[in-house]
Amino acid sequence: MNIRTNVKRLSLLQVLEPSGGGSGRHFLDLCRAMQNRGHSVTAIYSPVRAEPAFVAELEGLGLDNVISLAMRRAPGPWDLTAWRHLRKIAAVHGPFDLIHGHSSKAGALTRLRLPGRHVPVLYTPHAFRTMDPTLGARGRLIYGGIERFLGTWLTDRLVCVSQDEYNHALSLGIPEARLRVVVNGVNAPPASQRAAIRKRYGIPADALLFGFVGRMTRQKAPERLVDAFARIAAELPHAYLLMIGIGELADIVKNMIKEAGLEGRAHLDGSVPGVTAIDAFDVVVMPSRYEAMSYVMLEAAAAGKPLVLSDVGGARTVLEHGKNGYIVPNSDDPEALAAAMASLADPALLANFTAEARCRKDGYTLAGMADATERIYHELLGTPSPAHLQLTENPVMRDMAEDREKSAAVL
């Protein structure tokens, strides 16, 4: 608990439609941080896709209000009903100083408004739909047009979670003045479960263990990893693969493991918290098709683990190619991914990458994320930031700001 009584107490409305993955984790962390800093937080979530663990944690935060409002992921006439209910909730439980929408549906519902005076609205996309490379030209035109209109005319601040997402927002035509970057923050994963996790799956203590944590979905591309591991398994008998996650591709991934004859060396399990399993990994591999800023990347970086990442949003925030891991092409061809993984079987190289990863592990804290977000709140309202926010700065975001300034100077 870190309640402050010497600063302006903000009244905040936080709204989220999905509850899983990084957006759900960010929402919980931000609501907790703002409440603990003495602000009033009302949280609205949708029960349609809500995970029980998310709801239980949200209701246990001690927020001023936690309200369930049915919001569906797909667009449709039901959105008008959700919008009306959202407006009613804001009127009954307000007035609010700020409204902060998270992910596309809540972001749209919180930003659509009637003409006249309005409460300042922030939007955190947690990956624009248009960042998906598999989205067709028609979908890109439609979704991009919606984001450009909302971002230009109905958004007071759009908060990107990585430099890549920021650059993408600019490419959509959203004005630079509306944009800010706040990298997500995490607690370092527990560092006491390595032996227990390996024993659970029969993985030798001295094995080279590649690890994956994420939803079994097309976005996260777990099938790419199985393909790559199948290519190197025979030549690296001491290598193992552990994948933690659930989702619609789980059965497909299990069948791929079975068909490749890797059942004794490749494991998929959704019953273990991913953050707990990270300590057991030697290398974290994320072959995603698109991201804005993956929480798994951040957690792996905070754990001091070497990384092998596809070239997606956020990858360069946590990984310097050839220093603490490798960035590989965002491709369904497993050749480059397999080659990168195989190179890490060299003990000297792995030791060097691990040492470098451990030197970088303290740059992604929850406090830094909350500080940067709170600064944006005060900036938007035109109120002075608390003194400690003026003195602290996340080095990751400082470096990205310097890079943006250099790019602008060149242009």
**165-223: per-residue pLDDT in tens?**
999 999 999 999 999 999 999 988 898 999 999 999 999 999 999 999 999 999 999 99
CATH of domain 194-359: 3.40.50.2000
Distance CA 346, CA 104 (A): 43
pLDDT at residue 80, rounded to an integer: 96
Note the pTM of the prediction, 2 decimals. 0.78
pLDDT confidence tier of residue 116, bands split at 50, 70 and 90? confident
Instruction: Quote the mean pLDDT of the chain.
Output: 92
Query: Which pLDDT tens digit goes with each residue over 348-359?
Result: 999 999 999 999
Cβ contacts of residue 89 below 8 Å, gap of 6+? 42, 44, 67, 69
pLDDT at residue 336, rounded to an integer: 98
When mean pLDDT is compared across 116-130, 260-274, 306-320, 375-389, the lowest value belongs to 375-389
pLDDT at residue 391, rounded to an integer: 55
Q: Which CATH architecture has domain 11-185+365-410?
A: 3-Layer(aba) Sandwich (3.40)
Sign of CA dihedral 16, 75, 288, 144: negative
Mean predicted confidence (pLDDT) in 358-369: 90
Mean predicted confidence (pLDDT) in 357-379: 93
Which phi-psi region, left, alpha or beta, contains residue 38 (left: φ > 0; alpha: ψ -120 to 50)? left
Which phi-psi region, left, alpha or beta, contains residue 103 (left: φ > 0; alpha: ψ -120 to 50)? left
Q: CATH 3.40.50.2000 in the chain, residues?
A: 11-185+365-410, 194-359
pLDDT confidence tier of residue 321, bands split at 50, 70 and 90? very high
pLDDT confidence tier of residue 404, bands split at 50, 70 and 90? low
